[in-house]
Each structure stands twice: as C-alpha cells, then as structure tokens.
Structure 1
Amino acid sequence: MRNGDATTIDVPATSADAKGKAPAGAAPIVATTKATKYAKGGWRRGMAIFDFILRLGAIGATLGATATMGTTEQTLPFFTQFFQFQASYDDMPTFTFFVIANAIASGYLFLSLPFSIFTIVRPHAVGARLLLLILDTAMLAMTTAAAAAAAAIVYLAHDGNSSANWNAICQQFTDFCQQASSAVVASFIAVVVFMLLIVMSALAMRKH
C-alpha cells in the first residue's frame, strides 16, 4: 500500500504464522522514496549554485573588457603639441560596438542573478531556467560577434596587411594594442562562460 512518499510492503504469512507461532509485534516493512527525491534535486541545486558563481565571473570578465577597451587610447609624443598622432577606441566602429556589446552583457548578467538564485531555491523550476537559456544564447551570439570583430582589428593592428596596404600600428601604439588585446581576451572568457551556462541550463532541464 502507498501513502504519500512512503511505500508499505505487506509480508506474506509463513508456515510459522499459519500454526500460530509467529512472533508478536511483527510490523510491515516500509520503504521511503524521500531520499531518492532529495538525490534528484541535489545535483540540480549544485548546478544552480555553480551557475550563480559562473555569472559572477562573467560579470567580472565583461566589465573588465568594457572598462579596458573604453579607456584605450594613446598619443604619440612629437616635437610640437600641434602635430601629434592619437589612437582611441572610438576611432574604430568595431571597438565602439565591442564596448556597447560587453556593457549590455554586463547589465544582463547582473539582472540575471535573481533568477539564478531562484533556481537554487527551486531546483526543479523549469520556467526560470528556460528564460535564462534563451537570454544566455542571445548574449552568447552578441558577445561572440563583438569579440571576433575586435580580434580581427587587433590582428591587423599587430601584423597589418600588405595586400590592402594596411600598416601595423602596434609598433608605434604599443600601449593601445596591449589594452585592446587584453579587452578581447576578457571578452572571449565571457564567451566561454556563456557556453558553459547554456550547457548547464540544458542539462538541468532534462527530466531524468
């Protein structure tokens, strides 16, 4: 007989019972399923906690990429203050898009923290995980596009392109290129974290 989370198994009478020699006070065997339910919810809660930690790390990566690229500029010293060469991130639309995309990703990750906490409290909740899965996928696409485009510009700044007559400027603007390269690396770290978040959300939404 099944009652709530407990399953009662009736033990059939033995030959000793038939003769009236069964020991008094014999009780039915009770098997509970609560431990199984807790075990199933435990790994989901663990993944939800790891999801929250990864989001904190991604916030650091995207904020670092935004701040680093947003402050990237360098002015080369020359003989007079009226004749100078300056390189700034906003001189290139690709770097401007990079800053905007990573700033949006930072804001989204911060706003997603309450939903991540909710999945820790309710590990079996599907709606919150599905919402995070959809939005994480959108942020992954945007962050990947921004990081890849910026990486192409940084590559040209380091090596140039003789066929297109593009000179490598990193020999002169060393600080500018170092900051831009660091920002791109931080953004790609955020891309990897988004990929992990998506995989974890998909696994947590499985029924078994």
Structure 2
Amino acid sequence: MKAAGPIELGEGKSSAPARAGVSRGMAILGFILRILAFIGTLASAISMATTNETLPFFTQFIRFRAEYNDLPDFHVFSWLPMGVVSAYLLFSLPFSIFNIVRSKAQSIRILLIILDTAMLGLLTAGASAAAAIVYLAHRGNVRTNWFAICQQYNSFCERISGSLIGSFIGVVLLMLLILLSAVALSRHK
C-alpha cells in the first residue's frame, strides 16, 4: 500500500490570509514589547532623577545629602540615555501602530529596526557604565580612596540599583523587539 504524501494546496489557493494574521500578531506583540520597554526605561529614568537621601551629622543643623547628580557620571551615563530611549520609544509607538494596521509595510519596520538598534547601543552603554558606578558605590575601591557610600546611604543605593534593573530590562526588551522585527521582515520574502 502506498503512503499518503503531504496535502498540497491548489494553485489558486494560498496562505496569504494566514501570513497576514501572523504578521499582524507579531506587530501587536512588538507594540506590547515597545510599551513595556517604554514603561521600564521611563520608570528607571524617573527613579534615577529623583533619588536622594539626607543623613544627619552630629546635629540636626549639619546634614549630608546624597543626590544622583552628586555623581556626575550618573547624569551622563544613566539618566540621560534612559530619558532619550524612553522618549524614542514613546515617539515610535505610532509607527508600531502603523505596522499593526498595515502589516505588509516593510520600510517602517526597517526604519524601526535601525533606530531600535541605535537605542539598544545607547541604553546598553549607559546601563553598563552606570552599573560600574553603582558597583563602586556598593563596594568602593581602596586603592583609589573611593569609599563605599552604600553603607551609609542605603535608600539611595537601593533606588539606583533598582533603576539599573529597569534599564537592563529595557535592554532585553529592545533586543526582543529587534529580533521580532527581523523575523517579521524575513517572513515577507
């Protein structure tokens, strides 16, 4: 007895509606990831920009205050890139909606891949540099007389560490966005 082969579609039939449904689903998933990345980077930027702690010293009139801008590298390497990336993600949402409505539009998807990759580089560089500064704040460096300030300023260090976690979540979400867009583009061939 002869084994049955795979079922073939007739020449007139195609899987175009199925492909359009998958492309639309991928575009919706990309939109959701973009919103999540925006929320993560915005929360990290706000958390970093509003971080401060005041400790009393000997009397109530003399106090030590720690703010994120006391460490100038935080301003340049963490808050600023997170703010730029979150603004980009907000402004890219209409393009992502356009991809949902017109799932066959490739030029917008290519533009988003290019810009997402640039923002991924910016956010990765900023989060990595800020992670090195946070590490020094937690551990210090005896050779360079950098004291570990997190032993005194616990709340300050917890907030900047939480902000870094949000930044790295944004990095992962941007990587997923790039991969998802690349897969969606490769399906159009």
Return the TM-score normalized by structure 1.
Answer: 0.81
- Report the alpha carbon displacement of residue 114 of structure 1 after superposing the two structures with TM: 0.8
- Report the alpha carbon displacement of residue 116 of structure 1 after superposing the two structures with TM: 0.5
- Counterparts of 1:147 and 1:86, CA distance in 2: 24
Match of 2:83 in 1: 103
Contact 1:68 1:180 in 2 (8 A): yes
- Report the alpha carbon displacement of residue 120 of structure 1 after superposing the two structures with TM: 0.8
Which structure has the larger Rg over C-alpha atoms? 1
Higher relative contact order (CA 8 A, sep 6+): 2
> Quick check: 1:185 aligned with 2:165?
yes
Amino acid at match of 1:139: M
Match of 1:70 in 2: 49
Match of 2:6 in 1: none
Match of 1:44 in 2: 23
- Counterparts of 2:61 and 2:161, CA distance in 1: 29
- Report the alpha carbon displacement of residue 80 of structure 1 after superposing the two structures with TM: 3.1
Contact 1:94 1:146 in 2 (8 A): no
- Counterparts of 2:83 and 2:13, CA distance in 1: 47
Match of 1:19 in 2: none
- Counterparts of 1:87 and 1:149, CA distance in 2: 19
Match of 2:116 in 1: 136
- Counterparts of 1:103 and 1:167, CA distance in 2: 29
- Report the alpha carbon displacement of residue 107 of structure 1 after superposing the two structures with TM: 1.0
Alignment of 1:13-52 (within 5 A): 32-34=12-14, 36-52=15-31
Residue in structure 2 matching 1:176, options 153, 156, 159: 156
- Report the alpha carbon displacement of residue 82 of structure 1 after superposing the two structures with TM: 4.6
Count matched residues. 178
- Counterparts of 2:149 and 2:69, CA distance in 1: 16
Residue in structure 2 matching 1:205, options 147, 160, 185: 185
> Quick check: 1:83 aligned with 2:59?
no
- Counterparts of 2:112 and 2:72, CA distance in 1: 30
Match of 2:3 in 1: none
- Counterparts of 1:203 and 1:169, CA distance in 2: 45
> Quick check: 1:127 aligned with 2:104?
no
Return the TM-score normalized by structure 2.
Answer: 0.89
- Counterparts of 1:87 and 1:142, CA distance in 2: 26
Residue in structure 2 matching 1:61, options 23, 32, 40: 40
- Counterparts of 2:30 and 2:42, CA distance in 1: 18
- Report the alpha carbon displacement of residue 43 of structure 1 after superposing the two structures with TM: 1.3
Percent of aligned positions that are identical? 52
Question: 1:139-191 CA deviation, whole Å, 9 max, x = no partner?
Answer: 10111111111111111111111222221111101011001000000010000
Contact 1:61 1:190 in 2 (8 A): yes
Gaps of 5+ in 2: 1-9
Gaps of 5+ in 1: 1-29
Residue in structure 2 matching 1:117, options 97, 102, 108: 97
Residue in structure 1 matching 2:139, options 142, 159, 163: 159
- Report the alpha carbon displacement of residue 81 of structure 1 after superposing the two structures with TM: 4.5
